[in-house]
């Protein structure tokens, strides 16, 4: 997979003239819609009839089980977490001033032919300042994630609100890290002109001219996790396109709510006795039933986020590079899936974790294991912290992808279609049965073992309002 694409002028003109999503493959979008239709046509009708007979209507618009405290803390986190991005801006502003001063001193020393001792002293001073800048960025980014995680785990009881808050904190944390890493590289390029040149697109906003509030604010809202001083832009905003994508997000959100409340909730509730008694036959039966509705919710959520919401946001910001996902449903090996289903995260992992390690001499397999370790920790934070149960299931699920990757990698080398077919079958079995449904059952069981229900008022110690 390539680095985040930089579109040239001809490509931008083509994007502005297109009728579909401007950088997301239209054919992939159509194929994904067909996948959703197949899931709905084949599985949902029978589930609807069976569920209606057994449970009646479980939907309730006015019913809610979140506390006022959850909303207050969630709102505070939403507004305070992005402040760490602006702290990173202040750090980079000081770093830019220090870099410009270093360039000026270097030119003066070269002109005046400074003594070697003086030059060495300046190098030590600059190196110390460089380390202090990195230390400040590390403290700022770490505090962002640590504070948000602490608030979610100890003060936000509702898992849905907690998930949104923790996911937001992780996204801002990744953006803050990328902002620091990229500007570090640009600062190095400024101080070492003979090193590898920066992309031509950056020439319109060279370092340190990119260290501005407007530049940072655009990156804050841009649908990407990898910072660039300049992004490819489109010529105008198509508001009808935005309206259509917003309607899709709204409609799919309602579909997910109905599926979760009417179908997933009773299935999970009925699985508690089987898990507590370790009735493996009952657990497998629940997994089979839950796989259908979990796949439906996941497909709707994926389409709402990556196809609808991110494209709408990109359209409003005139963001040109819109390859948010690939045709992961056709993956014949697990490596292809993890490199195509979530392009923003994949690009971050490759740009800032995997590639730097390989460039410093780390063997690619070791770099890949470290990358999955890092991703596994983030997955556990986003699942275990909001549910107040650090089980390690999400982390283990990520690490178990590694042997599956090594198993399915040789299958794509088989010339016949059977190899790719077997690889795609392994992907879908692990995706539909072993992955999401099992994780949902385990975290749901752990939640009920700890609290009994979502609306349990007692949490930790003391009374909560």
Q: What is the pLDDT of residues 373-384, one digit of tens each?
A: 999 999 999 999
SS (H, E, C) 168-231: HHHHHHHHHHHHHHHHHHHHHHHHCCCCCCCCHHHHHCCCCCCCCHHHHHHHHHCCCCCCCCCC
pLDDT recorded at residue 180:
93
Backbone phi and psi for residue 207, each to the nearest 5 degrees, phi listed first? -70, 135
Please identify which of the residues 137, 379, 388, 448 carries the catalytic annotation: 379
CA distance 54 to 50: 6
pLDDT exceeding 90 applies to what percent of the chain? 36
Sorted by sequence, the CB contacts under 8 Å of residue 449 that are 6+ apart come out as: none
Is the pLDDT assigned to residue 455 strictly greater than 50? Answer: no
Q: What is the pTM of this model?
A: 0.82
pLDDT recorded at residue 453:
58
pLDDT recorded at residue 357:
93
pLDDT digits (tens, 9 = 90+) for 31-57: 555 555 555 555 555 666 666 666 666
Q: Indicate if 64 belongs to the active site.
A: no
* Secondary element (H or E) of residue 292: helix 280-302
CA distance 307 to 22: 11
Bridge partners, 233 (sequence order) = 319
Q: How far is CA 331 from CA 19, 328, 341, 423, in A?
A: 27, 5, 10, 8
The domain locations on the chain are 11-68+250-450, 69-221
Q: How far is CA 371 from CA 183, 272, 354, 364, in A?
A: 22, 34, 6, 10
Where is average pLDDT lowest: 237-251, 419-433, 443-457? Answer: 443-457
pLDDT digits (tens, 9 = 90+) for 63-119: 667 788 889 999 999 999 999 999 999 999 998 888 887 777 766 666 666 555 555
pLDDT digits (tens, 9 = 90+) for 117-132: 555 666 677 777 888 8
Is the pLDDT assigned to residue 284 strictly greater than 70? Answer: yes
CA distance 312 to 223: 10
Backbone phi and psi for residue 15, each to the nearest 5 degrees, phi listed first? -65, -40
pLDDT recorded at residue 33:
53
CA distance 173 to 179: 10
């Amino acid at each position: 997979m390539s680095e985040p694409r930089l579109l040239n002028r001809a490509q931008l003109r083509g994007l502005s003239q297109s009728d579909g999503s401007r950088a997301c493959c239209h054919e992939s979008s159509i194929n994904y819609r067909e996948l959703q239709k197949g899931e709905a046509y084949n599985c949902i009708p029978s589930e609807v009839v069976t569920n209606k007979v057994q449970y009646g209507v479980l939907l309730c618009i006015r019913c809610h089980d979140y506390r006022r405290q959850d909303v207050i803390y969630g709102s505070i986190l939403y507004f305070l977490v992005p402040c760490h991005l602006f702290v990173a801006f202040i750090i980079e502003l000081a770093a830019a001033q220090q870099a410009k001063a270093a360039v000026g001193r270097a030119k003066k020393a070269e002109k005046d032919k400074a003594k070697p001792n003086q030059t060495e002293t300046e190098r030590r001073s600059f190196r110390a300042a460089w380390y202090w800048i990195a230390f400040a960025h590390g403290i700022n980014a770490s505090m962002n994630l640590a504070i948000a995680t602490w608030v979610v785990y100890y003060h936000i009881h509702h898992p849905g609100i907690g998930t949104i808050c923790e996911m937001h904190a992780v996204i801002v944390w990744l953006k803050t890290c990328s902002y620091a890493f990229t500007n570090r590289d640009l600062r190095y390029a400024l101080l070492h002109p003979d090193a590898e040149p920066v992309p031509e697109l950056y020439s319109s906003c060279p370092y340190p001219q990119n260290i501005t509030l407007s530049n940072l604010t655009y990156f804050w809202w841009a649908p990407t996790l990898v910072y660039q001083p300049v992004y490819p832009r489109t010529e105008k905003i198509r508001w009808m396109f935005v309206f259509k994508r917003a309607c899709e997000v709204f409609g799919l959100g309602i579909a997910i709510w109905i599926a979760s409340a009417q179908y997933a909730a009773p299935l999970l509730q009925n699985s508690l006795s089987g898990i507590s008694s370790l009735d493996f036959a009952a657990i497998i039966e629940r997994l089979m039933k839950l796989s259908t509705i979990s796949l439906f919710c996941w497909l709707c959520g994926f389409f709402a986020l990556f196809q609808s919401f991110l494209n709408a946001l990109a359209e409003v910001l005139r963001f040109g590079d819109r390859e948010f996902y690939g045709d992961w449903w056709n993956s014949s090996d697990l490596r292809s899936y993890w490199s195509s289903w979530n392009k923003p995260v994949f690009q971050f992992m490759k740009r800032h974790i995997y590639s730097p390690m390989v460039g410093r001499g780390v063997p690619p397999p070791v770099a890949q294991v470290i990358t999955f370790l890092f991703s596994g920790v983030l997955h556990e934070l986003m699942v275990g912290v909001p549910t107040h149960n650090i089980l390690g299931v999400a982390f283990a699920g990520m690490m178990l992808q590694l042997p599956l990757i090594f198993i399915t990698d040789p299958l794509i080398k088989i010339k016949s279609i059977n190899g790719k077919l077997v690889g795609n079958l392994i992907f879908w079995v692990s995706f539909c049965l072993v992955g999401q449904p099992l994780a949902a059952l385990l975290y749901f069981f752990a939640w009920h073992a700890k609290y009994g229900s979502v609306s349990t008022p007692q949490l930790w110690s003391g009374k909560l309002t």
